Chain A
Amino acid sequence: MGAVRTAVIGVGQTKHTAARHDVTMAGLVREAVLEALEDAGLDFADIDAVVVGKAPDTFEGVVMPELALADALGAVGKPLLRVHTAGSVGGSTAIVAAKHVMAGVADRVLVVAFEKQSESNATWGLTIPMPFTPPLVAGAGGYFAPLIRAYIRRSGAPSHIGHLVAVKDRLNALRNPKAHLHLPDITLEQVAESLLLWEPLRYLDTCPSSDGAMALVLASERAARSAPGPAAWVHGTAMRSEPTMFARRDQVNPQAGRDCAAAVYRQAGIGDPRRDLDCAEVYVPFSWYEPMWLENLGFCAPGEGWRLTEAGVTGFDGEIPWNPSGGVLSSNPIGASGLIRFGEAAQQVRGRAGGYQVPIRRGRALGHAYGGGSQFFAMWVVGAEPPA
């Protein structure tokens, strides 16, 4: 017996912003969940299982947040599961939920991921002081900036490439009313002159810290056929991980990312992602990660990613738009960011992306997330039509 064909039939998210002092974590996730349920034409009573994702507990200081959220998520009396794979968690949460449906154990699964970063400070929460170790890394930028420097050296990319991505994703975000950052006047000069935080990374090369939540309703083929709106069909899912440190580990172009992409393309029958996809929503928290992931995800040969970015291939009207929603550079509630990528890919193939809808000609889109020290990868390919 093969896997049950699975689709996204509902998508909802909050308006992402720096601080939502007006709601609890429960109130925050409810906004996304109610929008997703309404989109799917369902009520809590129709849901068979609930899967929750969020990033490190050090952000809010709540251990096992899923227990406190059970009543807000209508999960009382149902299976409720929390997933955690650092920054990639939103992606792995969607995949865990999809497998509930593929396995035939649930017809309709509610997926929600969130972060309420304003309850502490993300720089602290990501790099907490630990015994035996001097506190030298200030936030994720301190970890990733040296890898970006290594990429620039390796590829010979000119220094303005990152700034191009910083501007492109912020201009895309102007089309997306739910995006956190709306910077209508952003220019390359502004990015290049913004504060140098972690050389070579500048302030505007860096994602914001957001409060926000994203929710999806995943359904079996049978349940999807009775949904009121269009479905985004799951054509492939993959997760891969690797240790933080091993001999000759390629942290710039990690093996786990390449393997994960190869696996998801194989399942979805994608030969050349640049040719076979309509768009990609990829976890780009620092501007330079666009050219780096273009190479890691096989959109071009190693060393060529920056040329695609420079030529506008990933632009909104480009050959293969990357992050038409504005991406992580425009909204970053960390625990939700991966699910936002997965959900935005689904919205594109459903034709529901509104002002940031790209033309759907090939009928498929990629959702991507990564986390930890580029250790965890989660990806899916969704399509406008069911898989063959």
Chain B
Amino acid sequence: MTATSEGPAPEAPLVEHHVLEYPGGYTRSLGPALSAFFTGLRDGRLVGARTADGRVVVPPAEHDPRTAAPLGEWVEVGPAGTVTAWTWVANPKPGKHHLSGPFGFALVRPDGADTALVGVVDAGVPEVMSVGMRVAPRWARVRTGTIHDLEAWVPLADGAAPAPAPPNEAPEVGEEPVTRIVCPIRLEYEINAGIAPSRYLRGLAQRRIIGQRARDSDHVYVPPRGSDPMTGAPTEIEVEVGQTGTVTTFCITNIAGLSELAPPIPYVTAQVLLDGAATPWFGLVTGCDPTEVRMGMRVRAVWSEQAAPDARTLVGFEPTGEPDAPYEHWKDYA
């Protein structure tokens, strides 16, 4: 274990692009109101709900916004409507907007409704847009009971009647109500590892395990977070810990995770108290049959062939073959 007197050199933290997305997409059980709405969209109709005071809200609310009473009277509205507010998107972004040319975002109040829906208006140029503008739906030819069944709103000449929805070309869409939908939700962002974890990850690329020591004690934290969780004080003293350690406890996992990066089952994950560290490192035990892993077993680091500033560079730990460490040495580190 070697300590350096200087603090870590300032270096830009590592940043990784990350996508958070539930495989297959979240489902939504629609209940009576939204089932009526999405079934309507599939069939080329706009459906709202009548509230206790006689207003019509669209999309239909399940419960009255004023009285909290359940609503159950579904009302067909529109399909033509009036723009009540709008803004213009001059430079649509591929993948962000579903129209490729410039368009308007607008609130559209369908005829017969007392509330407005948010939607896109495929108007070509902003000069066409105005509050009070008449619009009609452009229905998708393939409609499956999603919000995309109403592809866009298009300008409607004063006094003109909106065109009916074209026949649905979706294969295998029956007459049954739509009761569940899949909601594709995707969060894409840059995650900053932070200064101290970045030092740790860059150390891994050199096959070194770098922790940080608390200011007021001999506790060495691996991986470091930049502060002592017991005091909140910064941990400025960098320490390289040993590449051997002791398994304090472990689990044999027989259930597949939902990440394609997860190891094949069964696999062993352990808390490994590295020689010189005060907190156990969590990760894989390899190099032996899962049934041979035991508490107190001595292990050494296994490195990936590819050295990168990434936690996967430290693949895990394998048995050293040394005698097991006595219980008293590690019992407080489970």
Nearest-CB residue, chain A, relative to B280? A245
A-B contacts, 7 listed (Cβ < 8 Å): A23-B29, A24-B31, A30-B63, A121-B22, A198-B254, A247-B230, A247-B278
Who on chain A is nearest to B201 by CB? A132
- A71-B63, A131-B16, A153-B295 in contact; A136/B263 too (CB < 8 A)? yes
Q: Which residue of A lies closest to B61 (CB)?
A: A71
**Which residues on the A side are within 8 Å of B121 (C-beta)?**
none
The proximity string for B residues 98-120 relative to A, scoring 1 for CB distances below 8 Å and 0 otherwise, is 00000000000000000000000
Asked if residues B271 and A132 are in contact (CB atoms below 8 Å), the reply is no
A208 → chain B closest CB, angstroms: 14
Question: Could you tell me the dominant secondary structure of chain A's interface residues?
Answer: loop
Complex interface: chain A residues within 8 A of B63 (CB): 26, 30, 71-72
A120's partner among B14, B26, B62 (CB-CB below 8 A) is B26
* Residue on B nearest A146 in the bound complex, by CB: B249
Q: A24-B28, A71-B64 are in contact. Are A135 and B259 (CB under 8 A)?
A: yes
In the complex, are the beta carbons of A74 and B68 less than 8 A apart?
Answer: yes
Kindly specify which of B138-146, B236-244, B326-334 makes contact with the partner chain: B326-334
**Known contacts A22-B29, A198-B251, A243-B229: does B331 contact A129 (CB below 8 Å)?**
no
> Is A134 in the interface zone, CB < 8 Å from B?
yes
Distance in Å: Cβ of A170 to nearest Cβ of chain B: 20
> Count of A-B contacts with CB under 8 A?
179
CB distance A195 to B254 under 8 Å? yes
Q: How far is the CB of B10 from chain A (nearest CB, A)?
A: 20
Residue of A nearest to B230 (CB): A246
Q: Is the CB of A250 within 8 A of B18?
A: no
Contact B259 A198 (CB under 8 A): no
Q: Is the CB of A247 within 8 A of B217?
A: yes
Tell me the count of chain A residues lying within 8 A, CB to CB, of chain B. Answer: 61
Residue picked from B14, B22, B333, most chain A C-beta under 10 Å: B22
Alpha-carbon separation in the docked complex, A112 to B185 (Å): 26
Cross-chain contact A146 with B250 (CB below 8 angstroms) = yes
Q: Quick one: which of A24, A60, A133, A146 contacts B270, CB cutoff 8 A?
A: A146
Q: Which residues of B contact A64 (CB under 8 A)?
A: none
Residue interface bits A116-142, CB-to-B below 8 A is 1, else 0: 101111011101111111111111011
The chain B residues found within 8 Å of chain A, CB to CB, are 14, 16, 18, 20, 22-23, 26-31, 34, 61-68, 70, 179-180, 183, 185, 191, 193, 197, 201, 214, 217, 219, 221, 228-230, 248-259, 261-263, 267, 269-271, 278-279, 282-284, 295, 310-312, 327, 331-334
* Interface residues in A53-77 (C-beta closer than 8 Å to B): 58, 60-61, 71-74, 76
Q: Which residue of B lies closest to A125 (CB)?
A: B22
A119 engages B28 (CB within 8 Å): yes
Contacts of A249 in B (CB 8 A): 279
For the complex formed, measure the closest distance between the CB of A341 and the CB atoms of chain B, giving whole angstroms: 26
Assess the B28–A72 pair: CB atoms within 8 A.
Answer: no
Contact with B along A9-48 (1 / 0, CB 8 A): 0000000000011111011001000000000000010000
Contact B251 A149 (CB under 8 A): yes
Q: Would you call A7 an interface residue if the criterion is a C-beta within 8 Å of the partner chain's C-beta atoms?
A: no
List A residues 213-268 near B (Cβ within 8 Å).
243, 245-252
Contacts A132-B193, A247-B219 given; 9 further ones with Cβ under 8 A? Answer: A44-B68, A71-B63, A136-B267, A138-B255, A147-B334, A153-B327, A199-B251, A246-B279, A247-B279
